[in-house]
Amino acid sequence: MRPVESLGRYIIAFTEELGSVLLLLSSTVKQIIVPPLEMKNILRQMVEVGIKSLPVVLITAIFTGMVLALQSYTGFKRFGAQSMVASVVALSMTRELGPVLTGLIVAGRAGAAMAAELGTMRVTEQIDALETLATNPVKYLIVPRFLSGLIMLPALAIVSDIIGIIGGYAITVGLFGTSSTSYWKRTWDFLNIEDIYYGLIKACFFGGCIALISCYKGFYSEGGAQGVGKATTGAVVLSSMAILISDYFLSVWLFK
Amino acid sequence: MIKITDLHKSFGTKHVLRGVNLSVEKGESMVIIGGSGSGKSVLIKHIIGLLMPDKGTLIVDGKDITQLEEKELYEVRKKFGMLFQGAALFDSLKVWENVSFVLLREKRMGTKEAKELAVEKLKMVGLVNVENLMPSELSGGMKKRVGLARAIAHEPEILLYDEPTTGLDPIMADAINELIVEMKSRLAVTSVTITHDMHSAYKIADRIAMLYLGQIIETGTPDEIKNTKNPVVGQFITGSAVGPIKLEGIDEISVIRT
């Protein structure tokens, strides 16, 4: 095959897709501004994205905090810096792991569900049916999912931050016998409010990305059951990539 | 009521509609027949503005819907009710919420009233005690009836039927035909139906139009169509595999005959 040609084709396809996602974003934002808001649908999606993701987020956060404390404790012990464990856990959770891990979980759970549901609605003509019933499908379907992503991701991330730090506490204090007061002191010594705040901005961005990408994939899926499957896979892969890549650039920008 | 002039539509390199001309009078039941892949679905989706043509005009009640702003288009759509091939019921909503969808959203009435109205519309299509079920609990024929109840709930002036009898057993199919005829006489609506079921077409049509290779090749009353001199129409209505119609993907009919 001709490598230059296929690379070119790939870049064109990618740019086209990015353009369509941005167009969908602009019509979504436009539909948010136009009243009324679909409160019933928004609440339902907030439960879907937020409440139902909570158990997985809790388990992930507690074990992440625990393993973080375990690894850094044994590592730092080699040069006598065990006292820094609490700070490492607190900073890692709030700046990076809280938002990113929550994002990846929501992408896998709620993002996949969004793409599959909208994809099925597309191939069974339910989206066309909405249009014939004089209902804008972007307003009815995508706006609630987008808003719930924006709102619930930071909410989940903050829970994840707290639970991760508690996980670190359990290992450092419970297993290694560090004093409880010094753990909390070390946690607060190095943790600024910006660390938490910027982490939540990241989470908010990830939430928007996941909802937008997953809705886009589902909304424009075609080709029956296979198409829905492809849309779902695409939504999870693309959202996860978007989270990991944008995380780097957001970190450069926020924590410079 | 509906006037289509020189309508063209392509998907990629596929030129599906190649200059469709058709007019439907007020109160008339027009049936568009044509083979699978002839562009019937594409045509009916243009009539309600789900697809926009590459060229041509489509006038509904004096307005060219190809030229409308999004908001105006949604207004025009309120004149329409559409029954989809697979019914396209919203599976996250109960049957009655499906039927009263537009009424609930536009807050034209309270929940209790909307539900009563849904029950009444469901009764009109021959369904009782289904209002609290979910669409997944219904059979194919029942879904179509609910779809029809939803299409007529906001009292449209024009009803579009996308293959209303496809996928139903002959008795259920005939019951749906009866309903379509009844809707026409009771609600005095204009209707456009696409189908390849000739039995159904004869029963519900005031006029029949045949779509072939992206154009309307003949229009006439059911009797005129039955006595057509056009060999293409003749082949289609008798349902013969032999004749001038080329089947997509099959070069020689003789291949399947041997």
The pLDDT tens digits of the residues spanning B198-256 come to 989 999 999 999 998 888 988 999 899 888 888 888 888 888 877 787 666 555 444 44
Rg of chain B, C-alpha, whole Å? 19
- Residues above pLDDT 70, as percent of chain B: 94
pLDDT at B95 over 50: yes
pLDDT of residue B257: 44
Note whether A125 contacts B88, CB cutoff 8 Å.
yes
At B102-139, the pLDDT tens digits run 888 876 678 888 898 899 889 888 888 888 999 999 88
A121, A132, A135 member nearest B48 (Cβ): A132
d(CA A209, CA B128): 45
Which stretches in chain A have pLDDT values below 70? 1
Note whether B77 contacts A129, CB cutoff 8 Å.
no
The DSSP output letter for B51 is S
pLDDT of residue A222: 86
At B163-210, the pLDDT tens digits run 888 888 888 888 889 888 988 888 889 999 999 889 899 999 999 999
pLDDT of residue A145: 94
| One-letter amino acid of B103 | L
- Residues above pLDDT 90, as percent of chain B: 28
Q: Are B136 and B90 within 8 A, CB to CB?
A: no
Identify all chain B residues contacting A116, using CB atoms and an 8 Å cutoff.
Answer: none
At A219-243, the pLDDT tens digits run 999 888 899 999 999 999 999 999 9
Q: Which residues of B touch A (CB under 8 A)?
A: 45, 48-50, 70, 74-75, 77-78, 80-82, 84-86, 88-91, 101-102, 105, 150, 154, 160
d(CA B224, CA B230): 11
Q: Are B256 and B250 within 8 A, CB to CB?
A: yes
The ipTM of this complex is 0.85
List the domains of chain B with CATH numbers: 1-75+192-258 (3.40.50.300)
Note whether B90 contacts A135, CB cutoff 8 Å.
no
Note whether B88 contacts A134, CB cutoff 8 Å.
no
Determine the distance in angstroms separating the CA of B12 from the nearest CA of chain A, rounded to an integer.
15
pLDDT of residue B251: 52
Q: Are A192 and A255 within 8 A, CB to CB?
A: no
Note whether A132 contacts B81, CB cutoff 8 Å.
yes
Note whether A131 contacts B50, CB cutoff 8 Å.
yes
Classify strands B215-220 and B63-64 as parallel, antiparallel or unpaired. unpaired
pLDDT of residue B253: 44
pLDDT of residue B254: 45
Identify all chain B residues contacting A129, using CB atoms and an 8 Å cutoff.
Answer: 82, 84, 88-90
> What tokens were used for A205?
């961005």
Determine the distance in angstroms separating the CA of B78 from the nearest CA of chain A, rounded to an integer.
6
pLDDT of residue A25: 93
Domain boundaries, chain A: 37-254
pTM of the shown model: 0.86
Rg of chain A, C-alpha, whole Å? 21
pLDDT of residue B258: 40
Q: What SS3 class is residue A242?
A: helix
Determine the distance in angstroms separating the CA of B244 from the nearest CA of chain A, rounded to an integer.
31
> What tokens were used for B183?
């809707």
pLDDT of residue B166: 85
Residue carrying the six token digits 């006598």: A80
Identify all chain B residues contacting A124, using CB atoms and an 8 Å cutoff.
Answer: 86, 88
Determine the distance in angstroms separating the CA of A214 from the nearest CA of chain B, rounded to an integer.
19
Beta bridge partners of B7: B20
Residue carrying the six token digits 């991701």: A153
At B123-133, the pLDDT tens digits run 888 888 888 99
| One-letter amino acid of B159 | L
